Amino acid sequence: MSEPAERAQKLDAVDELAGKRAEFVLDDVVYLDGNSLGALPAVVPGRVEDVVRRQWGELRIRSWEESGWWTAPERIGDRIAPLVGAAPGQIVVGDSTSVNVFKALVGAVRMAGEGRDELLVDATTFPTDGYIAESAARMTGCTVRPVAPADVPGALGERTVAVLLNHVDYRTGRLHDLPGLTAAAHEAGAVAVWDLCHSAGALPVGLDEHGVDLAVGCTYKYLNGGPGSPAYLYVRREVQDRFDSPLPGWNSHAEPFGMRSDFEAAPGALRGRVGTPDILSMLALEAALEVWDGVSVEAVRAKSLALTDFFLECVAAYVPEGRVECVTPVAHAERGSQIALRCDDAGDVMKRLIERGVVGDFRAPDVLRFGFTPLYVGFADVERAARVLAQTLA
């Protein structure tokens, strides 16, 4: 047995989160794509069957009240809240990340003072965020200025209305300075909006602690909510009364069953709701979140850093020098929960890795992405992935 393999056995033996693996539906594949789609928590199929057969099939419309369907968006939001460092009453679940980015950006413009008309947007952001920002700007009379996150402090000015940033870069896995950039935005009088898709469930976020105004995120990555599971919107308590959603719907009305022609926003984060909740996927998400019972985000972060450190060590030990280049920062303070390796023939390499039982993903033009979900990825998985990568590249 190689030295890395022996180390992997020892690390797995003392892993405090190792028992969580049994709460997921897994096979012999090394699954390192949880940063795109999390694995299936074992409790979900039975819960979804109950929702379909009993709550829908037997109770039918009574389930809006008796099964808690109506309050699901805020109830599940409160379940997500501690995972992103938020107190209850500030998160609603529903719609997609894209729709929530639109709500947050237009809401941010409406909260800002007169004379501000420039949106600063992460130049390295996931493309959809940029598309939404451009559309929101056209609708609100603003302009969009793409800026690298590190350059945001110098780009802020009297015209800046809001800043939209990704907490973790989806391509490289770089972790951006949420506390510092939020503080810089506030000092300039701008609203701070964060996309948490690649950080929620992988590392501490601290939304309340750092005064983030608005935040959005998906639930199908590190939160394991399932394909297309609903996203969420965070509205900090101090700005809730000023949050004017551009998508007012009957679910965000103060009296949703009053059927009034005039709109009056619901109190608190509920004004972030729009239409009828997607109950099947929403309650699948609620069941999936049970795997977090008894788990601290700090413990997850500690294991994430240990896993990614160990992967880099194994890659250095197994892969010929110069064959791949790590584009993820080595410094812990700048690293999310993935490792991105640059490789000339990355697309073909990933296909062959998947055929050999190691699942990551490829991002054009030349990046191999490996996501590490600490709740179900172990150190033996990491060692095997690096060993198979070396064999594939040979």
* Active-site residue set: 126, 195, 220-221, 369
Strand order from edge to edge, sheet including 367-371:
325-326, 338-342, 367-371, 361-363
Q: Buried b / exposed e across 61-100, counting CB within 10 Å, b at 16+?
A: eebbeebebbebbbbbbbbbbebbbbeebbbbbbbebbbb
* 3-state helix vs strand vs coil in the chain, percent to 5: 45, 15, 40
| Cα Rg of the chain, angstroms | 22
Are the C-beta atoms of 97 and 127 separated by less than 8 Å? no
What span, in angstroms and rounded, lies between the C-alpha atoms of 202 and 220? 12
Q: Look-up: residue for tokens 């991002």?
A: 363
What span, in angstroms and rounded, lies between the C-alpha atoms of 196 and 324? 28
87: its two tokens: 């107190």
161: its two tokens: 């209305």
* Phi, psi (rounded to 5 degrees) for 179: -60, -50
Question: What H or E segment, with its residue span, contains residue 49?
Answer: helix 44-50
